[in-house]
Amino acid sequence: DAKTTQPNSMESNEEEPVHLPCNHSTISGTDYIHWYRQLPSQGPEYVIHGLTSNVNNRMASLAIAEDRKSSTLILHRATLRDAAVYYCILKETSGSRLTFGEGTQLTVNP
Amino acid sequence: DAGVTQSPTHLIKTRGQQVTLRCSPISGHKSVSWYQQVLGQGPQFIFQYYEKEERGRGNFPDRFSARQFPNYSSELNVNALLLGDSALYLCASSLWAASTDTQYFGPGTRLTVL
């Protein structure tokens, strides 16, 4: 499985934008980039995914580098409820298993 | 609509015992996957089932087994429990078993092995 590298932790202030980086230099041409997050005492929750183009949904935006070797999850206005571990995952085209790394622990300060 | 449900919520067992964990997928979802999450780490894939057939297996010993029923619910069985099996066991469901599917996770079953 292609690997991803994320910072262990990041901090943000409430109502400010948050940019969560992910490096995936060994990504293959057909790997999708998925982001999940896990709030305390809950199972992981799907956030967003993309292949080549930038993507937006109601939760976040995903900016993908032109060479696809890195991506950034953008939370436009962080809330206290966004405090969670964020996982960047490369999803293979064969099968639907998710290979989680350590993720980034996001702390949101009031 | 109900999300993925798992039972029991918490479970305490002793070494050498056997345990069965249960999962009900979202209505209409035909695929169920199981993950193990040890404290402080990301979830690790154990099994995926689709239409009652095993579609994938992670790097876990044969003490771990699973099955899917005609109603698409699933059970995960772990035999000869070890202290290291203490973890949060997560079930995820998806419509199909395709790579583009979004997986929806349940709240997990917290297993403690003493």
Summarize pLDDT for B35-69 with one digit per residue, the tens: 999 998 999 999 999 999 999 999 999 999 999 99
Whether B64 contacts chain A with CB within 8 A: no
Task: Name the pLDDT band for B1 (thresholds 50, 70, 90).
Answer: low
Confidence (pLDDT) at A2: 64
Q: Select the residue of A44, A46, A95 nearest B97 (Cβ to Cβ).
A: A95
Task: Name the pLDDT band for B100 (thresholds 50, 70, 90).
Answer: confident
Higher pLDDT, A99 or A94: A99
Residues of A in contact with B44 (CB under 8 A): 100
Whether B43 contacts chain A with CB within 8 A: yes
Under an 8 A CB cutoff, do B106 and A43 touch? yes
Q: Are B14 and B82 in contact (CB under 8 A)?
A: no
Burial class (CB in 10 A: 0-12, 13-18, 19+), B75: middle
Whether B59 contacts chain A with CB within 8 A: no
